[in-house]
Amino acid sequence: MAAPVLMAWISFITFINTHLCECIVCGDSIAEENTPSPTRKCNHVRCVCNDCMQSMISAQVSGDDWKNIRCPELNCRRLLDYEDIEIFATQQTKDRYEELLAHSALEKMPDFLWCPLAGCTSGQFHADMDEDPKVQCIKCRGYSCFKCKGEWHGSQSCEEAANQNKETDRIKTLYSKRCPGRGCGQYIQKVRGCMEIDCGNINCRVIFCWECKIILDKSKGYEERSREGHLAGCKAKYVREKRRKESKLCKIAEKPADGNEKYRDGWDVDAGFVGTGQEY
């Protein structure tokens, strides 16, 4: 009585294990026997190839969403735990994931804080906590406030310091545009002078047009690059043409698309910018 049931069960298992199907992400066919389920708790057909799992995990681990890596099967969406991630991830991704885990464990300790000062990535314990909130960083030697986790603000209360920072930020966005360079975004204020802006960030150093934010080609001479590549309607473009009595028209550049390697996302938006009226 039990034997036929067992045989049927075995052939069913064999069918499940050797059945070929398509990866729901890339469409390549996958042999399920070589493809583990996204999580050990998944109870559906194996549906994503190892390569796609690997790139999904690495993208999430390098972004903000590393705690929320889920099975891509829409009817499943189970969370991957560390052991699931280990199966698919590259060594580099695993190292990064472990680092993030260690960081988040530290952050849960009540007497731990990260140094908030620009360019510093150090963290440390501060046993005095709120009683003596002034913390000196063991690495950059700068001071921060344990209570608000911001830069040390002397005799000001945390709230006063936060309000002042907000005001400083507001003024900064009112009068500055941000560098369009990928990986940059430096706030830059223009006071009269040329429409060409040199980004002061040493890791960036692009030259861009203040008006249309197009990045100009540094390898070309001033005259040449200023005639090239402005967006249609750019004021700088018309100023140049007028100065040259329209003898040499500027070229019109196509607007760089999202994901362009030279431009950061949102490069053309300077929300809140009103200017000082002294820019020209």
Min CB(3)–Zn ion separation in Å: 33
- 4 or 68, CB closer to Zn ion? 68
Residues making contact with Zn ion (CB under 5 A): 23, 25-26, 38, 42, 49, 52, 71, 73, 76, 115, 117, 120, 122, 137, 139-140, 145, 147-148, 158, 179, 181, 184, 186, 199, 201, 204, 209, 211-212, 230, 234, 236
In this structure, which amino acid lies at residue 132? D
Q: How far apart are CA 197 and CA 186, in angstroms?
A: 12
- 7 or 273, CB closer to Zn ion? 273
- For 112, the enclosing helix (H) or strand (E) is strand 112-114
In this structure, which amino acid lies at residue 204? C
Min CB(31)–Zn ion separation in Å: 12
Min CB(11)–Zn ion separation in Å: 24
The separation between the first and the last C-alpha atoms of the chain, rounded to the nearest angstrom, is 93
- 95 or 128, CB closer to Zn ion? 128
Q: Give the CA count within 13 Å in the CB-facing half-sphere of 32.
A: 16
- 176 or 186, CB closer to Zn ion? 186
Min CB(44)–Zn ion separation in Å: 6
- 97 or 153, CB closer to Zn ion? 153
**What φ, ψ does residue 136 adopt, rounded to 5°?**
-100, 130
- 129 or 140, CB closer to Zn ion? 140
Min CB(121)–Zn ion separation in Å: 8
- 11 or 193, CB closer to Zn ion? 193
Min CB(258)–Zn ion separation in Å: 18
Min CB(239)–Zn ion separation in Å: 9
Chain-centre distance for alpha carbon 165: 23
52 exposed, middle or buried (CB, 10 Å; 0-12, 13-18, 19+)?
A: buried
Helix, strand, coil: what percent of the chain each, to 5? 30, 15, 55
- For 97, the enclosing helix (H) or strand (E) is helix 91-108
Say if CB 73 and CB 47 are below 8 A apart: yes
Min CB(204)–Zn ion separation in Å: 3
- 4 or 131, CB closer to Zn ion? 131
Angle separating helix axes 91-108 and 50-62, nearest 10 degrees? 40
Q: How far apart are CA 86 and CA 57, in angstroms?
A: 10
Alpha helices in 120-218 (DSSP H): 158-175
